[in-house]
Structure 1
Amino acid sequence: MKLPNAVIGYGSEGDTEKLPMAIAARPDGTSWIAWTSTGGKVFLGRLGCDDKLTGEPTGFTGIDLQDVAADATGGVLLLTRRGSCGDGPLCGGESSPCNTMHMVRFDNAGKLVWERQVTNLTGGRQGYDDGARFIWWYQHHGRLATDGKNWAAYFGVAITVRNGDCVDVHEGDRMQVVSSTGKLVGGHKDAFEVGCSHAWTSRIVHDPRTKRFVTVCATDNACRIAQPDPYRTIAAGTCDGTLFNGDVVLAEGKGYWAAWSQGGSVRLERFTTGRSTSTIRTGASAQHPHLVGYGTGRMLLAWQSGSSMAAQAYDSGTGKKVGAKLTIKVKDHAYQAFKAYADGSVAYPAAGGGSSSITIARVLPL
């Protein structure tokens, strides 16, 4: 699929690099596609049922896309914008840039409705001021979820702390909830200023059964896959540079499944509020697994396999495999996500044949 604007970030897959693109499922079966482009712009376009671009994309101010999600009246982008560090001073080292994270609400025409910063930089608080929460080069990507009314953003964040006459900058994660009118929901029971620290691969899902937002991180706090605020271990790991969180989805009945990887070995963990009660050693060899709900009572695990992707369906109640392993002939990206559709299919945005093209990979219902 050819785009009218270039996509940047194809080549590098680190959590510190720009995220090229994200897709969102609309209730009518069509999609929104968003991509990081040049000139400080994130573009948003609409895809038809054939996964082809329709109409003119809208450009929004942003230097790094994080996610896009949709509802019946539009959707929300999560993106990064430029901010200011100020002068600190730092106690040592370098930790710039000091950017900001924003939710951007758009309507079904792709036009701006409201925007809300979910970091806390203001005219009176810059990145190197005590108490600042900002976006830097390190471990900063995020995801969106909605309860049908409010929108939640969960993302990596820089944490500025005074240390005598200077400040230190640490890293953790942050979850903020924004109302349907674009206001921060103060005191939301699932939101937190800082959760896991140090943290990476922050993932979130809304559970309509419990009316809660559920967050899962990888953290070097005891080197584990965990739920933050307060810490609850899902699975014990090792801080050897190969510990990565994948995604979290609803389990059939109650609870959740999390995909994660240690030493290139992909596992699935079923949990409710803390330690896993069931572990599936999938046999998949990859560092960055993707997991998505796949129709009724199923989930789809996907991972890089050579120059393509492989995928396997699982029962979301028992954790047993369903059907045969699939080959998805697109290039994987470690930090992009599959999205579930109402018809039981799932879709994934992948690199196309050039810097201004995207391929949509779709796995049809079982």
Structure 2
Amino acid sequence: MSLTVPPRSGRHRSRMSRQRRVLFIVGGVAAVTALSVAAAFSLTALTAGAADPEVPSAQATGTASASAAVTASASAAPSPSAVGGCARPAAPAPAVRVTEVKLGTRVVGYGREGDTEPLPMALAADPNGGSWLAWLGTDKRVHLGRLDCADRLVGTPTSFAGIDLQDVHADATGGVLLVTRRGECGSGPLCGGSSSPCNTMHMIRFDTTGRQVWERQVTNLGGGRRGYDDGARFVWWYQHHGRLATDGRNYAAYFGVAITVRNGNCVDIHEGDRMQVVDAEGDLVSRHRDAFEVGCSHSWTTRIVWDPRVSRFVMVCATDNGCRIAQPDPYRTVAAGTCDGALFGGDLVLAAQKGYWTAWSQGGQVRLERFTTGRADATVRTGVRSSHPHLVAYGPGRMLLAWASGSSIAAQVYDTAGGKAVGGRFTIGVRDHDYQAFKPYPDGSAAYPAAGSGSSSIRIARVLPLSG
């Protein structure tokens, strides 16, 4: 069989995932707050290399405007304190601000939110407190705009060639996009099955104006190698999503990848994941100790974080190798699961003092696991029914669990020491997406890009900082 695919848990959303999906927002204790922020984005300016003369600059698009609507929990303090570079108000209970950002260009829709479909939008925290917003246009370009402290679009967005958006990450001198572009399959021939696209994955470095500085392919097509050549690593039609992380100088991309293997006089295509590191000049970091050609296989919901306490990029995947949530290269089980079509991983963040928290779901039941280098040493059974959990840092000593509830998201705060619930649930008034991510901010807030009121707008839902 030429086109080898993982079980249903790797390719399809369960029925439950259409009804209720989960988000975790996590922060470390005060002693590691700075480390959590450093893992989310670097406060150190990256040294940008010269632009590749063969790579065109991003094209500018039209100016856009924004309008805002604010909703806050009933228990928010009347006169909250302000923290962070943007002076966003902090209160003793969570408050949510939703801002409608008008883009001036059309955004691809959510569709069925499947792993075979493109990602509509992504958000990155700027160290100064603002944001970079990326979205996939119906014009088959990835657009990039800057948001101010009030989550309003400022300046003129730029755009880049790309058929899919994966992630965006920011630092003091710009940031990096992770995008997918069309590649070539070649003739093979395949040992069986039918042909599918052989796409490529690219990092694009941009400066503080949103203009391209360099780009680097992190798959390996080109130079005479095409997708159906032995040894090729390319982006397939499913499990194609990826995430970025940075150590302050280098950027790492962890993503699903197709693996071409010769089998006699034909080739088989398998699926796994791949991690590559690119330096500040846009060059691949040779033999980086955390990078690999193939990690988990089969693999889905790949997640990555930088841990400055141990100077390592740390990753987790969901895999049918043992049907588990695992760390790749080499395999280390975090949590045992079942390959029944309802095993899904979530995001990954730093835990208090040492180790990590990851959220995952089995059979529509969400769990939170704390681990270091092997099997989890603490499990929180949340009692929430959902299929696609997310995880993001949220201020000192706290984490926030949230899940789709009708057309909105419900949420609950937990602490990061032992996973104890703090306070009551509240509502985030935007629509969830299985594969989009909340991002953490230096002031202790977290924000999420969601579908807007129309096809040319995006809503930014910001959970404002907690005081105390």
Q: Is the structural similarity TM-score above 0.5? A: yes
CA distance in structure 2 between the partners assigned to 1:45 and 1:264 by the alignment: 36
CA distance in structure 2 between the partners assigned to 1:329 and 1:36 by the alignment: 22
Measured after TM superposition, the shift of residue 322 of structure 1 is: 1.9
Opposite residue 111 of structure 2, the aligned amino acid is G
The residue matched to 1:157 in structure 2 has which SS?
Answer: strand
Do the aligned residues in 1 keep the contact of 2:111 with 2:117 (CA within 8 Å)? no
Superposed CA offset, 1:94-136 (max 9, x none) = 2410000000000000000010000000131000000000001
Equivalences for residues 82-161 of structure 1 within 5 A? 82-161=182-261
One of 276, 282, 298 as aligned partner of 2:376: 276
Task: State yes or no: 1:296 paired with 2:296.
Answer: no
Question: What corresponds to 2:360 in structure 1?
Answer: 260
CA distance in structure 2 between the partners assigned to 1:24 and 1:139 by the alignment: 22
Do the aligned residues in 1 keep the contact of 2:327 with 2:333 (CA within 8 Å)? yes
Measured after TM superposition, the shift of residue 85 of structure 1 is: 0.2
Task: State yes or no: 1:63 paired with 2:169.
Answer: no
Opposite residue 114 of structure 2, the aligned amino acid is G
The residue matched to 1:85 in structure 2 has which SS?
Answer: coil
Question: What corresponds to 1:361 in structure 2?
Answer: 461
CA distance in structure 1 between the partners assigned to 2:135 and 2:389 by the alignment: 21
Question: What corresponds to 1:162 in structure 2?
Answer: 262
Opposite residue 88 of structure 1, the aligned amino acid is G
Question: What corresponds to 1:19 in structure 2?
Answer: 119
Measured after TM superposition, the shift of residue 9 of structure 1 is: 3.4
Measured after TM superposition, the shift of residue 313 of structure 1 is: 1.7
Task: State yes or no: 1:175 paired with 2:275.
Answer: yes
CA distance in structure 1 between the partners assigned to 2:233 and 2:401 by the alignment: 33
Instruction: List, as ranges, runs of 4+ consecutive aligned residues in structure 1 with deviation greater than 6 Å.
Output: none
Larger CA deviation: 182-191 vs 319-328:
319-328
Do the aligned residues in 2 keep the contact of 1:347 with 1:360 (CA within 8 Å)? yes
Superposed CA offset, 1:176-212 (max 9, x none) = 0000110000100100100000000000000010000
CA distance in structure 2 between the partners assigned to 1:274 and 1:79 by the alignment: 31
CA distance in structure 2 between the partners assigned to 1:307 and 1:95 by the alignment: 37
Please report the TM-score for the alignment, with normalisation by the length of structure 1.
0.99
CA distance in structure 1 between the partners assigned to 2:133 and 2:152 by the alignment: 10
Structure (1 or 2) with the larger CA radius of gyration:
2
CA distance in structure 2 between the partners assigned to 1:11 and 1:362 by the alignment: 24
CA distance in structure 1 between the partners assigned to 2:429 and 2:134 by the alignment: 21
CA distance in structure 1 between the partners assigned to 2:144 and 2:327 by the alignment: 32
The residue matched to 2:102 in structure 1 has which SS?
Answer: coil
Opposite residue 259 of structure 1, the aligned amino acid is A
Superposed CA offset, 1:129-187 (max 9, x none) = 00000001110100000000100000000000000000000000000000011000010
Do the aligned residues in 2 keep the contact of 1:5 with 1:356 (CA within 8 Å)? yes
Measured after TM superposition, the shift of residue 12 of structure 1 is: 2.4
Unpaired runs of at least 5, structure 2: 1-100
CA distance in structure 1 between the partners assigned to 2:232 and 2:390 by the alignment: 32
Aligned length: 366
The residue matched to 1:360 in structure 2 has which SS?
Answer: strand
The residue matched to 1:180 in structure 2 has which SS?
Answer: coil
One of 322, 325, 329 as aligned partner of 2:422: 322
Measured after TM superposition, the shift of residue 321 of structure 1 is: 1.4
Superposed CA offset, 1:247-275 (max 9, x none) = 11000000000000011110000000010
Do the aligned residues in 1 keep the contact of 2:181 with 2:202 (CA within 8 Å)? yes
The residue matched to 2:108 in structure 1 has which SS?
Answer: coil
Superposed CA offset, 1:18-76 (max 9, x none) = 00000000011100000011232100000111111111110101110000000000000
Opposite residue 328 of structure 2, the aligned amino acid is P
- Larger strand fraction of residues: 1
Opposite residue 429 of structure 2, the aligned amino acid is K
Question: What corresponds to 1:311 in structure 2?
Answer: 411
Opposite residue 319 of structure 1, the aligned amino acid is G
Task: State yes or no: 1:338 paired with 2:438.
Answer: yes
Opposite residue 198 of structure 1, the aligned amino acid is H
Equivalences for residues 210-229 of structure 1 within 5 A? 210-229=310-329
C-alpha RMSD over aligned residues = 0.8
